[in-house]
């Protein structure tokens, strides 16, 4: 199987994340599944919700997808502690016969070279770069990176920062996150809800 790994803080997961995963499944015919791989801790940007809470929100989304008979998006429970992406890839490639690509937003391009063991990482698997609003870069891509090239794809403006800001201001997030995630956030009073 060909698996597209989609790593991130998911603090919280939002409709923009899901739109990217669905677009990869739709427009990359060699991809069988997209695995959401949450960071337990993030090296550059601290998380707000705990690793357990973010994983629970991802699991709610996966359950929603299964109920809707949309099983192409799965949640990976691999990361623990300060695990770097390269460690996850080494472990996956050792344990399984799947092939992998890594999904990264175009906002990550300027920092890719700062990732732990970046050169080894790009030798181990290709990176699929997905355009994000305000972060489309021109020029050459790093080695073993390629653009998502579907001309029909329109990046959403959704961001976890926007979700958190709206909640802090007492505004609705129902158009930004799945209902199950919105209910979870309210129940656990996350992000100022």
> How far is Cα of residue 133 from the mean position of the Cα atoms in its chain?
16
The separation between the first and the last C-alpha atoms of the chain, rounded to the nearest angstrom, is 40
DSSP 141: P
Question: 10 Å Cβ neighbour count for 60?
Answer: 18
Among the listed residues 156, 154, 153, 148, the one whose alpha carbon sits nearest the alpha carbon of residue 30: 148
Q: Name the region of 103 (left: φ>0; alpha: ψ -120 to 50; beta: rest).
A: beta
Give the mean pLDDT of 14-28: 90
Give the mean pLDDT of 53-62: 92
The pLDDT value given to residue 79: 56
The pLDDT value given to residue 189: 93
Percentage of the chain lying above the pLDDT 70 cut? 91
> How far is Cα of residue 174 from the mean position of the Cα atoms in its chain?
20
pLDDT band at 57 (very low <50, low <70, confident <90, very high): very high
**How large is the angle between the packed helices 179-187 and 51-67, nearest 10 degrees?**
150
CB 16 within 8 A of CB 158: yes
pLDDT tens for 62-119 read 888 777 777 788 888 765 555 688 888 898 899 889 999 999 988 888 888 888 899 9
pLDDT band at 138 (very low <50, low <70, confident <90, very high): low
Tell me how far CA of residue 82 lies from CA of 6, 48, 87, 133, 169, in angstroms: 17, 16, 10, 29, 32
CA angle at 5 for the pair 84 and 3, rounded to the nearest 5°: 135
The dihedrals phi and psi of 83, each to the nearest 5 degrees, come to -60, 130
Rounded Cα gap, residues 43 and 40, in angstroms: 10
Looking at 5-19, 144-158, 174-188, which range is the least confident one?
144-158
Residue 69 CB burial class (10 angstroms; 0-12, 13-18, ≥19) = exposed
SS in 3 state form for 3-15?
A: EEEEEECCCCCCH
């Amino acid at each position: 199987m060909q698996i597209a790994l989609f790593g991130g803080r998911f603090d919280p997961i939002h409709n923009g994340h899901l739109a990217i995963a669905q677009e990869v499944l739709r427009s990359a015919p060699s991809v069988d599944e997209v695995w959401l791989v949450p960071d337990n801790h993030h090296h550059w940007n601290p998380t707000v919700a705990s690793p357990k809470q973010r994983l629970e929100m991802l699991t709610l989304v996966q359950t929603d997808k299964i109920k809707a008979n949309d099983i192409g998006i799965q949640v990976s429970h691999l990361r623990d502690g300060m695990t770097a992406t390269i460690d996850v890839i080494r472990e996956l490639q050792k344990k399984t016969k799947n092939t992998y690509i890594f999904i990264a937003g175009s906002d990550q391009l300027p920092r890719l070279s700062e990732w732990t063991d970046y050169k080894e990482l790009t030798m181990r698997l290709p990176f699929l770069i997905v355009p994000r609003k305000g972060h489309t870069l021109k020029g050459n891509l790093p080695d073993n990176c390629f653009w998502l090239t579907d001309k029909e794809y329109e990046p959403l403006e959704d961001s976890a920062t926007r979700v958190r800001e709206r909640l802090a201001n007492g505004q609705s997030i129902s158009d930004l996150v799945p209902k199950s995630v919105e209910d979870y956030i309210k129940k656990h009073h996350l992000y100022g809800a």
